[in-house]
Each structure stands twice: as C-alpha cells, then as structure tokens.
C-alpha cells in the first residue's frame, strides 16, 4: 500500500510512518519541516491553500491524517486554518486523487463538555460544547470529514479508486486518548518540565480516574484502522490503554520515570479553573493552567474499549507499568 502520513514530525505521526515503512508499505510524509524519516518527504503547511497536496497524494492508496495545531493557546483563526480548513482541503484532494482509505486522527476532547466521562463510548463531536480552541476545531474537522463522504460510498476494498470517479474513500475516525511515550513533548515533556520547575500541581483531590495510551499501542490501533478501513467506513473509535489510574498517581509515575520530583502542590479545582480563565487570555505560549487543563486534571475521563477492540481486532501490548519502565530506560 502507498500511504501518505501527515504530521510526521510529531511523536505519533513519526511512529506511524516508521511502522508502515517497516512492514513494507511505501510511505510519504507531509509536514512543514524535514522529519528525518527514511521515507519520501513533501514539505508543506496544511493550513496553506497552496500546499502541494496533489504532489503528495499522487498514486497513493491511503491517508493517515495526524497533522494539527495542538497548542493550548493561540488565536482561533490559526486552529481554524490548520485543523478545519486544512483537513477539508486534504480530504478533497484525497478524493480527487482516487485515494481509497482515509484515517482521520481526532481526539476524545471533541465530545468532552467538562463533565466526567466514565466508561463511555465515542459520543458525537460537539463543537459548541467542546472546551478550548483545539477541541472545538477538532470537533469541527471530525464532523466535516464524516459529512464529506456519503454513508454508502462505493468502494473496492484494498484498491485505489479511479481519479475523478464517483467512488469515495473509506473514512475511519480514530480518537487516541492522551498518547505518551519516550520523546513525547506534548504530555510527558510538559509534565516533566513543570515538575522540575516546581510548577506541577495536582488539581482537586487527584483521585479522578484517567486513561492514557502508550505510543506503540496507538500506532498499532491506527495501522489496524487503516487495514480495516473498507469495513469501518464512517466509524468513530476511541483508543486507550484501558488502565485508568488516579491522575495524581499518573503524574507521580511519569515524574518518577523521568527522574523529576513528584508534584507537591495541590490546587482546588474551582481555583484552577478561575486561574486558567485569566491566564489563558494573557499567556502566549504554554501557560501553567487553562480552563480545559483544569477540567482534564480534575474530572474522570476513561472509556469503554470493547467496541474499539472488536472493530480493530486490536488490544494494547504495553501496560502502564511497562510504559513507565520504557520511559525511564529512554531517559525521558
């Protein structure tokens, strides 16, 4: 299979590209800067209307779309430009190129309106209820992807569609939950940096159960979604490790694995939310707290994985404790 992977400079995107290449797929990656991966690279900004999407997609069978603006603060127009408009253009270009499979990587935050999520499945993406620019833009993008192909699209499993024809790609939406592992700058990197600076706080009691996903397991799930896409058209699946732990325990374990001090500060959830509302309007990069972060750290969010595992024929290989050992061994 010839596969285009977007966002390959990120931990998960790069790992997906390497896994596909290792099993013999012909891989192209699209991102703004060189990734250093041993695959064909096309440089371009997905938010740019003139990005070379046609060149990146020519002759390809499938797309795994991970590129997104993931910062916790920033102007709405930047999230709209990349996460919504960029996704819309990519899907349109994939259809025009005759691509047969399109795996869209979303986020459980698209259906999180601030309340606890306890053993739930993949709720509908809700741009109006989603918290923060990132979650809202990903919710809009997910809805556009699902609306962009008919429910009963004509497809031939395992083959490309004819460019310019009536056939549509098989679209699967996968929402990995809190992906982490060695080399992670989004979750692990921020936790460790704040811990070493003495700024890592437990919000609320620290007892809220939160599930996460080790990067190797997220990769396996996305590859399975790609392989099974013709049978999963328009399905939305949440992926997680299936081992919810109290948030205070998770933070302490990540810190211990990285050789950083465990959090010693506890902040009431109401105070954290109020502080986040102020800070996120003033901070331009990596604020210590936002309303979304306060909610994520003080409310439970773990998910029923039975549907996902049955649909993908997949189960996680790396347990939490083994993941912490790998993180420690990597010196993260």
Instruction: Determine the Cα–Cα distance for residues 51 and 32; give it in Å rounded to an integer.
Output: 10
For the stretch 60-73, pLDDT in tens is 999 999 999 988 77
Give the Cα separation of 215 and 180 in Å (integer).
5
**More confident position, 274 or 309:** 309
Per-residue pLDDT, averaged over 117-141, amounts to 92
More confident residue, 278 or 217: 217
The β-bridge partners of 237 are: 174
161 or 195, greater pLDDT:
195
Query: What values do phi and psi take at 47, rounded to 5?
Result: -80, -10
Weakest mean pLDDT among 122-126, 148-152, 208-212: 148-152
Q: 3-class DSSP state for residue 52?
A: coil
What value does the mean pLDDT take over residues 234-238? Answer: 97
Domain ranges of the chain: 2-179+214-240+303-317
SS3 169: coil
**Within 118-214, where are the H helices?**
132-147, 188-196
Whole-Å CA distances, 290 to 166, 282, 287: 45, 11, 7
- What's the pLDDT tens digit per position in 281-294? 766 676 777 777 77
Residue 332: its pLDDT value, please? 60
The whole-model pTM stands at 0.92
Which residues are the active-site residues? 134
Per-residue pLDDT, 157: 46
Q: pLDDT digit string (tens) for 177-223?
A: 999 999 898 889 889 998 999 888 898 899 999 999 999 999 999 99
Decide if pLDDT at 167 tops 70. no
What is the C-alpha to C-alpha distance for residues 24 and 80, in angstroms, rounded to an integer? 35
CATH of domain 2-179+214-240+303-317: 3.40.50.720
Tokens of 227: 């392989």
Q: What is the dihedral of CA 44, 50, 53, 56, to 10 degrees?
A: -50
Instruction: Read off the pLDDT of residues 4-56 as tens digits, 9 standing for 90 and up.
Output: 999 999 999 999 999 999 999 999 999 998 888 999 999 999 999 999 999 99
């Amino acid at each position: 299979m010839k596969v285009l992977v977007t966002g390959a400079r990120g931990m998960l995107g790069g790992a997906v590209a390497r896994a596909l290449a290792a099993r013999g797929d012909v891989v192209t990656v699209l991102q703004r800067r060189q990734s250093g991966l041993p695959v064909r690279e096309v440089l371009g900004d997905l938010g740019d209307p003139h990005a070379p999407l046609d060149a990146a997609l020519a002759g390809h069978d499938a797309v795994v779309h991970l590129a997104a603006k993931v910062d916790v603060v920033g102007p709405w127009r930047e999230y709209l430009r990349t996460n919504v408009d960029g996704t819309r253009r990519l899907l349109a270009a994939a259809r025009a190129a005759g691509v047969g499979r399109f795996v869209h990587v979303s986020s459980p935050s698209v259906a999180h309106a601030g309340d606890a999520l306890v053993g739930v499945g993949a709720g509908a993406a809700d741009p109006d209820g989603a918290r923060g620019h990132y979650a809202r833009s990903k919710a809009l993008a997910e809805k556009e992807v699902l609306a962009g192909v008919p429910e009963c699209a004509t497809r031939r499993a395992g083959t490309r569609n004819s460019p310019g024809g009536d056939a549509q790609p098989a679209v699967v939406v996968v929402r990995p939950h809190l992906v982490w592992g060695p080399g992670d700058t989004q979750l692990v990197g921020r936790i460790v940096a704040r811990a070493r600076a003495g700024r890592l706080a437990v919000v609320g009691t620290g007892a809220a159960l939160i599930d996460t996903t080790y990067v190797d397991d997220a990769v396996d799930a996305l590859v399975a979604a790609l392989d099974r896409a013709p049978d999963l058209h328009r399905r939305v699946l949440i992926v997680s490790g299936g081992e919810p732990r109290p948030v205070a325990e998770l933070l302490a374990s990540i810190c211990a694995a990285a050789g950083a001090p465990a959090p010693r500060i506890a902040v009431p959830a109401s105070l954290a939310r109020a502080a986040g509302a102020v800070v996120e309007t003033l901070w331009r990069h990596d604020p210590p707290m936002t309303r979304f972060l306060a909610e994520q750290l003080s409310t439970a969010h773990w998910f029923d994985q039975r549907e996902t595992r049955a649909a993908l024929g997949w189960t996680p290989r790396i347990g939490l404790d083994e993941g912490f050992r790998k993180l420690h061994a990597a010196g993260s």
